[in-house]
Amino acid sequence: MLSLLIIHLIVCCCQRVARGGLKYIDVNVEGILGVMDLSNLSENRSIVIAKEVDVDYRRNVSGMMDRCSELQHFSSYERTFDYKVCLDDSGRAIKVIPAAEQSDLVPSGKYSHEGAERSFKPFAPHLILLDNVALYGYGDIMDLAGTSHYMGVCRQYGPPGYDSIDVKRKEVVLFFDEPVVNLVTLWTENYFNALIAYASRVLSLVSLVLKNPMIKVAKNTYPSKAESFLAPILEYYGVFPEKLNLVNIEYGKVYFARHLVCPLSACKFIPKQFVNMIRMAVFDLYEVSPSPAHELRTIVVSDVSDLTPLSSKLHELYGHKFDVVRFSPKSALDSPDLRESLGRTVRLFGDCRLFISRHGAGLANIMFMNQGASVIEVRPEALHSWYFSYLSSTVGVRYYPFKCSVDKPRRKVLYNMDDMLAQVHSILLDSNVSRRAG
């Protein structure tokens, strides 16, 4: 006889759940451990956990770590860790598992964007411990009172799963009675999102997973090429994704957890400490030595048709001094040997003096560039993005936005070649001036 939890429904078809109106009830059921018995719920009935409050932990946690209890010990199913009960600005009590020392840093300082000085976003990569919550397959988390818990990851905007979680019998898959780690991350097939969001979330779990190697980790278990591409970075810190105690999370399904451990992250932002961890790993693994900008001998141009004429012109003008190389994230991920592909990518950008790219996922490679190198982001004038200028400042790469217009029917960027070449010449000349000044 196994003690499992089921949903007790006293509402009609598709009726919204009042705050506190949905309860777990313990029953004795013979069956498979972890599967909810919803035999009393017909296929055509559902309930909706409607969002009442949205809690954004990225902004709450960073400033509340001085308003916490002493460490308290948690133990369940032989999984153990320590946490503190902290109060956020609204007086809400939140269970926080403090980050390991190597990642318990709040970025400080400023960076330049659009000619203005901006402050780094405050961020503390602690883990949040939630009790009795519903985890939607797209990553949204709600408790039964309708509080949405936002941990900073990219969201599935719009219904289903954003303003509410629609719970149908056929879509409820598992109930986790033992502690489980939430590693659901959307769009990890995207080169940028895998490097910025997924890798940092896994790295924040290093100490917890090493201490509790059999703790369940909830994620979509079909590995994307981008995840496999990044595996050597995680293995460098002792985390082997294929050896984690993974539980497959299907998009669109609903999972209930008595204790859900959630790493904090952000959709398009990576804390400086994780940038440093990734750089340390790849530079060591692939023997890339820090070099001053004037010693770097490669110009990398994004391999898109819009920039083909520019690449040809740069080869004509600078080919006697630099290797002009085209790069495509898709090609890097299509390699039959992804580990070697990561090495080639890291070495390429480690020797890159100037990287020119359209706005897109490939700009995540800024993370692998040497301090003092430069990047030009070719982007539509109406696009107001900040994350590549932030990433450049974090690494110590000089960032230059180059605004252009867009031919929407042909999905091409339109830019003035003479202006672009003048920008490139100025950057390369400035590197040489810096060398002589040094």
The C-alpha angle with vertex 188 and arms to 247 and 106, in degrees rounded to 5, equals 95
Q: Which residues pair with 416 in a beta bridge?
A: none
DSSP code for 51: -
Distance CA 401, CA 116 (A): 13
pLDDT, tens digit, 9 for 90 and up, residues 238-288: 888 888 999 999 887 888 888 999 987 767 778 787 888 899 999 999 988
Q: Is the pLDDT of residue 435 over 50?
A: no
Mean pLDDT taken over the chain = 78
Averaged pLDDT for residues 76-94: 86
What's the Cα-to-Cα distance from 131 to each of 52, 136, 142, 161, 259, rounded to whole Å?
Answer: 17, 15, 10, 19, 5
pTM for the whole structure: 0.81
Residue 196, CA atoms < 13 Å, CB-side half-sphere: 26
Distance of alpha carbon 411 from alpha carbon 390, whole angstroms? 26
- Indicate the pairing of strand 398-407 with strand 164-168: unpaired
Superfamily covering domain 286-437: Response regulator (3.40.50.2300)
Strand partners, 23: 8
CA distance 305 to 302: 9
Residues 54-75 have a mean pLDDT of 76
**pLDDT (0 to 100) of residue 15:** 36
In this structure, are strands 352-358 and 374-380 parallel, antiparallel, or unpaired? Answer: parallel
How many Å apart are CA 226 and CA 283, to the nearest integer?
19
Secondary-structure breakdown of the chain: helix, strand, coil percentages, each rounded to the nearest 5:
30, 30, 40
**What confidence tens digit (pLDDT) does each residue in 205-252 have?**
888 888 898 999 999 888 789 989 999 998 888 888 888 999 999 887
Residues 6+ apart with CB under 8 A from 340: none
Helices (H), 175-322: 191-193, 199-203, 206-211, 225-236, 272-285, 308-318
Is pLDDT at 162 greater than 80 in this prediction?
Answer: no
* pLDDT above 60 for 186: yes
Distances (CA, A) of 157 to 20, 140, 153, 164, 415: 25, 10, 12, 11, 32
| Cβ count near 335 (within 10 Å) | 15
Rounded Cα–Cα distance for residues 402 and 423 (Å): 9
Other CB atoms within 10 A of residue 50 CB: 16
E-assigned strand segments in 64-106: 72-76, 79-87, 93-97
Q: Write phi, then psi, for 400 (nearest 5 degrees).
A: -130, 110
Between residues 19 and 83, the one the model is more confident about: 83
| Chain center to CA of 149 | 16
Mean pLDDT across 322-327: 96
Higher pLDDT, 371 or 17: 371
Per-residue confidence (pLDDT) for residue 86, from 0 to 100: 86
Tokens of residue 55, six digits: 């809690």
48/194 Cα distance (integer angstroms): 31
Q: What is the 3-state secondary structure (H, E, C) of 135-164?
A: EECCCCEEECCCEEEECCCCCCCCCCCCCE
Name the packing angle between helices 387-395 and 272-285 (round to 10°): 60
Alpha-carbon distance of 435 to 432, in angstroms, equals 5
How far apart, in Å, are the Cα atoms of 175 and each of 50, 136, 179?
20, 12, 11
Predicted pLDDT of residue 5: 31
What is the per-residue pLDDT for 46?
Answer: 65
Which of residues 128 and 158 earns the better pLDDT score? 128
pLDDT, tens digit, 9 for 90 and up, residues 34-55: 333 444 445 556 666 777 888 8
Determine contact, residues 376/402, Cβ cutoff 8 Å.
Answer: yes
pLDDT of residue 434: 45
Amino acid identity, position 139:
G
Burial class for 410, CB neighbours closer than 10 Å (0-12, 13-18, 19+) = exposed
Whole-number pLDDT of residue 150: 81
H/E element holding 349? helix 338-350
C-alpha distances in angstroms, 140 versus 81, 143, 144, 150? 24, 10, 13, 7
Indicate whether 9 pLDDT > 70: no
Q: What residue ranges of the chain are covered by domains with CATH 3.40.50.2300? A: 286-437
| pLDDT class of 29 with cuts at 50, 70, 90 | very low
Asked whether the predicted pLDDT for residue 24 surpasses 80, the reply is no
